[in-house]
Chains A and B, each alone.
Chain A
Amino acid sequence: MVAGAAAAGGRRRWWLNRTAMVVVWVVVSVGIWVGLHWYIRTVSMRKAEEALESMCEERARMLQDQFAVSVNHVHALAILVSTFHYRKQPSAIDQETFAYYTAKTAFERPLLNGVAYAQRVVHAERGKFESQQGWTIKTMKQEPSPVQDEYAPVIFSQKTVSYIEALDMMSGEEDRENILRARATGKAVLTNPFRLLGSNHLGVVLTFPVYRAGLPADATVAQRVEATAGYLGGAFDVESLVENLLRQLAGNQDIMVNVYDVTNTSEPLIMYGPQNPDGYMPLSHVSMLDFGDPFRKHQMMCRYSQKPPIPLSAITTPSGVFVICMLAGYILYAAWNRYDNVKEDCRKMEELKVQAEAADVAKSQFLATVSHEIRTPMNGVLGMLDMLLDTDLNLTQKDYAQTAQICGKALIALINEVLDRAKIEAGKLEIEAVPFELRSILDDVLSLFSSKSREKGIELAVFVSHKVPEIVTGDPGRFRQIITNLVGNSVKFTERGHIFVQVHLIENANKVMDAKVDTDLNGCLSDMMVPSDGTFNTLSGLEAADRRNSWENFKLLVSNEMPQSDKCKNGMPCGMNSGNVTLMVSVEDTGIGIPLQAQDRVFTPFMQADSSTSRNYGGTGIGLSISKCLVELMGGQINFISRPNVGSTFTFTAIFQRCKKSAGGDPKRTLSESLPTGFKGMKAFLVDARPVRSAVTKYHLQRLGITVEVASTIKMALNALSGQNGCLRSGKRPYILLIEKDSWTPGMDVYLHDQLLEWKQCGQIPEVPKVILLVTSESDKAKAGSFVDTVIMKPLRASTVAACLQHALGMGKQQRKEMPNGSAFLHSLLAGKNILVVDDNKVNLRVAAGALKKYGAKVECAESGKDALSLLQLPHNFDACFMDVQMPEMDGFEATRQIRLMESKANEEVKCGETYEGSERAEWHLPILAMTADVIQATYEECMKCGMDGYVSKPFEEQQLYQAVAKFLVSKPNSDL
């Protein structure tokens, strides 16, 4: 709950966080928009300003230039006047000439309204001048001039300004000042702007002094004044001047221009433009104008008539960026959301997965428990049925009881399979590593199915390559389980033909396969051709699914290994020296095969080829999946080739360890039976038309130490026999003639018998060889007739062959004893052993002791863990200890722990050099076996944890006791057996 609340809190905070992030992002985006907008506007403003500046400068220069041109021309006029009016005597210029000339040259002075020349007249000369001109000097106001020091009456004027003729220029304030400044500086001077007479435009008056000749260049002001002859003046119409100018330039409508006279900086006088400037004020540029009069300063101010428009990009670009930002933000947001969802989903999945796994484990545990629980009562049922069958029953009852027993056994088998499967799924199944004899396991499996195969009349055979070591280390139980499974399947689904189990080393098998491929490539299509007589070179003559297992291959395999077989038997390392042996086991049958559509789910649990299969053949289909699991646990692979109505071949590989002779004592003690050795050196003759079958028979006989020769028909055999007899064989050994049932034709038997008898009488052979017939089914047995010494029923196993031979040769009894059964073996293991039994329950104690005593052990009893401990004080001479788990005071686990503690102490002391007197063993380790009524996994693990070596169930079962004991006790070879 708390965690949930915290998570919710975290989520809320997270959401807040996310909302905040969204807001921040939007704000940032808006900020970017504003910033970008401002930047672009600034840039565009600067550009406008620059444009304005350049335009303004351009206008100012033009104005200045045009002005200068006019001033220059006025200057030229001044010189004209000085030249022609004053140098010539009499004057070459009069009003008429002047007016004419100026009118003609007016185009040179487009800015000037007109020009006029005013002569300097001092008051002394006024009368003379007035009389000379014929008019009196007037002021600007057209009145006769009052008395002045001097006058500057206009004497020449252009027609346009003829109204100022005879006006005294000195009478106007502006003009007078101009005149005075002009004659003092000798340069053109300008007046303040004022409204011009006539046009009423704003304008300025330009005045130029005209000196009499002989004025030096560096004349003083006084000299200049003295030399002044007159003044040339012109009125500039600035307003029209600037308007003309602007009209000439493009874009004039965009720009507002003001021209100021700024001689008096505090009070600029406007020369052009509106009095109160309008238009876009913030942006303006001022250019200085130089009209050639150093005294006066003019400037031009330009500005845009309206605010320059905000460029479109200033809106679109930031908007675009804004949209992109928003999109990016949304993408991030969505991705984040998605990530969040996915994470949440993933977490949920994770939870579900945990649940599913827990459910799976629970299922496996349930299965294991339930199977176990079912097994216990089922054993009771089966036991009871067994007992019931031993009692006096009538036929019907017996039949019922047997059926019940068969069903019960099937149920137990199924439960065991389910338990196995559950164990595998729960990962609890562990593969043992004990030395075992592979061939005898295969023989055992074969004997399991022998009755069925005989019933059906199918050949069941096993062949183990000579290269496969006699004893390998692995898990015999599981190996047997796989083989049993596969062979069981084959037997179930095969009605005719054969089932053939082969074991080879994988290196060999691969080598042969490669060789085979080579020959095939060479164009030898032997495999693909159907033999002319319709039989195949297989065990039974029927076609097998996996053609690779045909005789050609088999021959190669067999011939390949022959040269080395002797070496192997001597226990010499042969082939690979490495510790691992990889075996390839194939189980070939000629059954109904697996339908193509079902082949891919053969290894799926509870899956049979189709539902009708289970109706016809029974079974659950769990076997193959278990086999697959087991094979994988053994480090191998399983696969199969199957052709419907031809058969199936299952092949699997498994990795075993080579059994090192030095380790683990004599591995033979794990064998249920060992083969009799009395046949070594015997010779046998085998008549068999089928090479594969003869190879199998040969294999079994060779295991018994019998050398075998093969002939395909009886006649050939006889020929060979007679031929050999000539070469004087050692005739001491009884000669055996084994005949396959196919070759045993009626009539042939008599012939053979006669022939053999004849030879014997002639002394050609010392005695008639024993004739043994090999048959596959009960019905064949009848064919044997009287000339056959004995009949061997297939499937062949070395031990059955041995038994038959013993019977036939009359050497049975003394050797039969060598095949002990389980209890005899237990006897041999336990005989003479000192065993301590610990149990608090007297009855149990007595029973266990009694059971062990029966097997020849010397038993001592202890009734509690403490007693046991005191008995086990080192040194002691117990060989094993059976310990009850549940005991008051000190239970079995605790007692074992203490014993192990004691032992390890003692062992350390031994290592340190102190040895107990009389202790011969290098290390103390007493095998302790737990006795427990409930054999479940947990108890087993507990047993192992506290140092026990194994457990047996209570009450003792012979087989289990044997298995448990066999691991720890070495049988005494010289026991009183």
Chain B
Amino acid sequence: MAATALKEQLNGLVNSMFAEGLLDEQFQQLQMLQDGSNPGFVAEVVTLFCEDSERILTELTKLMDQALVDYSKVDAYVHQLKGSSSSVGAQNVKLACIQFRQFCEENNKEGCVRALNVVKHEYYRLRSKFETMLQLESRIQAYENKQQN
């Protein structure tokens, strides 16, 4: 019973994330990829994404703090972030990244700083949801394991 409740909770969470535009169909694809053969796939990917993103965001913050911003570097990082976010289906982050890259191309520092903030904001919003989601999943996993035992 608890497992089904948790699952419902998880579904509700994911649905709300879709509804808010945090995620897109790519995330569904990811979910579809997860099956018996690799149970922790989504969790793995999401964790990877979070680690990667945090690293990139730290780098970006550093770069933007400098007096002379190396836009090519910034662009490369943003591109990476965009790639990983689109793979995960983190739609809002991806869109923010696209915006960011445009400012980058214009060498618009103010815009870049603003865009970085947007990206961060979106990312943190997503991360908190992801964290909840991962917790739920791990609890479901634990229940299932328990039942099996």
Binding site for B on A (CB under 8 A): 380, 383, 387, 840-844, 846-848, 850-851, 853-854, 886, 888, 933, 954-956
Contacts and interface: CB of A to CB of B under 8 A. Distances in A.
A851 B84 contact: no
A965 to B, nearest CB: 17
A854 B48 contact: no
Contacts of A844: 83-84, 87
B76 interface: yes
A843 B88 contact: yes
Contacts of B26: 955
B82 to A, nearest CB: 8
A846 B87 CA distance: 9
B29 A841 contact: no
A842 B84 contact: yes
Nearest to B50: A843
A851 B33 contact: yes
B65 interface: no
20 contacts: A380-B24, A387-B18, A841-B80, A841-B87, A842-B48, A842-B52, A843-B49, A843-B52, A843-B83, A843-B85, A843-B87, A844-B84, A846-B44, A846-B45, A846-B87, A847-B30, A850-B33, A851-B33, A853-B37, A933-B86
Contacts of B18: 387
A112 B45 CA distance: 160
Interface of B: 18, 24-26, 29-30, 32-33, 35, 37-38, 41, 44-45, 48-49, 52, 76, 79-80, 82-89
A954 B87 contact: yes
Contacts of B35: 854
Given A848-B87, A851-B29, 4 more contacts: A841-B80, A843-B84, A843-B85, A956-B29
Contacts of B41: 850
Contacts of A850: 30, 33, 38, 41, 45
Given A847-B45, A854-B35, A955-B29, A841 B83 contact: yes
B80 A840 contact: yes
B83 A854 contact: no
A482 B147 CA distance: 58
A954 B33 contact: no
A270 to B, nearest CB: 121
Question: Per DSSP, are chain B's interface residues mostly helix, strand or loop, or mixed?
Answer: helix
B84 A841 contact: yes
B48 A846 contact: yes
Contacts of B30: 847, 850
For the complex of A and B, 3 pairs with smallest distance between CB atoms: A843-B84, A847-B87, A844-B87
A858 B73 CA distance: 34
Contacts of A886: 79
Contacts of B80: 840-841
A933 B44 CA distance: 23
A954 B44 contact: no
Given A387-B18, A933-B86, A955-B29, A843 B24 contact: no
Contacts of B29: 851, 955-956
Interface centre among A380, A387, A955 (most CB of B within 10 A): A955
Contact of A847 (B24, B76, B88): B88
B33 A843 contact: no
Nearest to B94: A933
A383 B18 CA distance: 12
Contacts of A841: 52, 80, 83-84, 87
A888 B82 CA distance: 15
A933 B79 CA distance: 11
Contacts of B44: 846
A841, A842, A848, A854, most chain B CB atoms within 10 A: A841
B39 to A, nearest CB: 12
Nearest to B51: A842
B76 to A, nearest CB: 7
Given A387-B18, A844-B84, A954-B87, A853 B45 contact: no
A505 to B, nearest CB: 45
A955 B84 CA distance: 10
Contacts of B83: 841, 843-844, 933, 954
Among B80, B86, B87, B88, residue most surrounded by chain A Cβ atoms (within 10 Å): B87
Given A850-B33, A853-B38, A954-B83, A843 B45 contact: yes
A909 to B, nearest CB: 38
A956 B85 CA distance: 14
B53 to A, nearest CB: 8
A383 B26 CA distance: 10
Contacts of A847: 30, 33, 45, 87-88
Best-buried of A840, A841, A843, A955 by chain B (most CB within 10 Å): A843
B33 A888 contact: no
A854 B76 contact: no
Contacts of B37: 853
B37 to A, nearest CB: 8
Contacts of B86: 933, 954-955
A379 to B, nearest CB: 10
B24 A383 contact: yes
A851 B37 CA distance: 12
A380 B29 CA distance: 15
A935 B26 CA distance: 17
A387 B48 CA distance: 27
Given A843-B52, A854-B35, A387 B84 contact: no
A380 B25 CA distance: 9
A843 B48 contact: yes
A842 B37 CA distance: 21
Nearest to B44: A846
A841 B88 CA distance: 12
B48 to A, nearest CB: 5
Contacts of B33: 847, 850-851, 853-854
A440 to B, nearest CB: 28
A844 B86 CA distance: 8
A844 B83 CA distance: 7
A933 B30 CA distance: 17
A89 B24 CA distance: 179
Contacts of A933: 82-83, 86
A841 B83 CA distance: 7
Contacts of B82: 933
A886 to B, nearest CB: 7
A955 B28 CA distance: 12
A854 B80 CA distance: 25
A954 B85 CA distance: 11
A824 to B, nearest CB: 14
A822 to B, nearest CB: 14
Nearest to B29: A955
Nearest to A957: B29
A552 to B, nearest CB: 55
Q: Which of B41, B76, B79 has the most CB of A within 10 A?
A: B41
A933 B101 CA distance: 14
Contacts of A380: 24
Contacts of B76: 888
B27 to A, nearest CB: 10
A247 to B, nearest CB: 122
A886 B83 CA distance: 10
A383 B25 CA distance: 7
Nearest to B76: A888
B100 to A, nearest CB: 15
A848 B33 CA distance: 10
Nearest to A380: B24
Nearest to A851: B33
Contacts of A848: 87
Contacts of B79: 886
Contacts of A853: 33, 37-38
A850 B27 CA distance: 13
B25 A387 contact: yes
A956 B26 CA distance: 9
A888 B41 CA distance: 27
A383 B91 CA distance: 13
A954 B83 CA distance: 9
Contacts of A956: 29
